[in-house]
């Protein structure tokens, strides 16, 4: 079933340029919820390792890295930035919001999801992170189903390879550097002679 998402505006709305929509009505589709993303690698160590958080100091550069992480995560579920319907954005300095908005607008083009922006004292991911964004996306059911089946195929393919490798290991004889000694034929006992019968 194809998705159905409609922007909702006030009946007397002013014609001003905004980087978000006041509301989006989702009538049909599958919802995708993303964890908060930062400029840091999505898959980072826990406990954290300092070298994984060597990030650029400026908001604009971090926002570019974050949007790449966002696009990659959405793509894994068969979605794009055009499928994002809601975003919550956490900044450590609201004075840098315009830099974030510039990157946000360049990435999303004419698409306008709903957004909420909050200033925080710091982000839990790491003190070097200046922005974190969590989004909800909507896509048609077929795209979500295709992404799930691709994930299952990757997992089942890996499982099949692992199973075949395990079977090969079990079938292969244990190899030794020494050559095995030649097998000797089994020794046969000579037939027992019967004592002569008395006449």
Which CATH number do you get for residue 42? Answer: 3.30.1330.40
- The answer to whether residue 55 is domain-embedded is yes
For residue 47, whether the previous peptide bond is cis, meaning omega lies within 30 degrees of 0, is yes
| Whole-number average pLDDT of the chain | 82
> Residue 17 belongs to what domain range?
4-146
- The answer to whether residue 17 is domain-embedded is yes
Among 197, 194, 40, 1, CA closest to 128:
40
pLDDT, tens digit, for every residue of 61-109? 999 999 999 999 999 999 999 999 999 999 999 999 999 999 999 999 9
Among 125, 159, 131, CA closest to 56:
131
- The answer to whether residue 101 is domain-embedded is yes
Rounded-to-integer distance, Cα 10 and Cα 151, Å:
41
Say if CB 138 and CB 83 are below 8 A apart: yes
DSSP helix/strand/coil, 149: helix
- The answer to whether residue 179 is domain-embedded is no
pLDDT given for residue 169 in this prediction: 46
Rounded-to-integer distance, Cα 137 and Cα 197, Å:
104
Rounded-to-integer distance, Cα 139 and Cα 121, Å:
34
- The answer to whether residue 180 is domain-embedded is no
pLDDT, tens digit, for every residue of 142-178? 655 566 566 555 555 555 565 665 555 455 554 444 5
What domain count does the chain have? 1
- The answer to whether residue 181 is domain-embedded is no
- The answer to whether residue 195 is domain-embedded is no
Rounded-to-integer distance, Cα 134 and Cα 117, Å:
11
pLDDT given for residue 182 in this prediction: 66
- The answer to whether residue 190 is domain-embedded is no
């Amino acid at each position: 079933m194809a998705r159905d998402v409609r922007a909702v505006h006030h009946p007397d709305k002013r014609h001003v340029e905004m980087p978000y929509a006041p509301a989006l009505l989702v009538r049909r589709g599958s919802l995708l919820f993303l964890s908060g993303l930062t400029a840091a690698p999505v898959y980072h160590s826990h406990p954290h390792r300092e070298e994984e958080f060597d990030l650029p100091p400026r908001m604009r550069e971090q926002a570019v890295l974050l949007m790449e992480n966002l696009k990659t995560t959405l793509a894994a579920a068969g979605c794009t930035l055009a499928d994002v319907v809601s975003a919550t954005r956490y900044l450590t300095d609201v004075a840098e919001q315009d830099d974030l908005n510039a990157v946000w607008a360049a990435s999303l083009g004419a698409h306008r999801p709903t957004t909420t922006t909050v200033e925080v004292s710091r982000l839990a991911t790491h003190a070097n992170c200046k922005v974190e964004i969590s989004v909800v996306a909507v896509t048609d059911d077929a795209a979500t189903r295709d992404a799930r089946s691709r994930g299952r195929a990757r997992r089942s393919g890996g499982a099949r390879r692992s199973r075949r490798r395990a079977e090969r290991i079990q079938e292969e004889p244990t190899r030794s550097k020494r050559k095995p000694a030649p097998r000797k034929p089994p020794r046969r006992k000579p037939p027992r002679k019967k004592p002569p019968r008395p006449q």
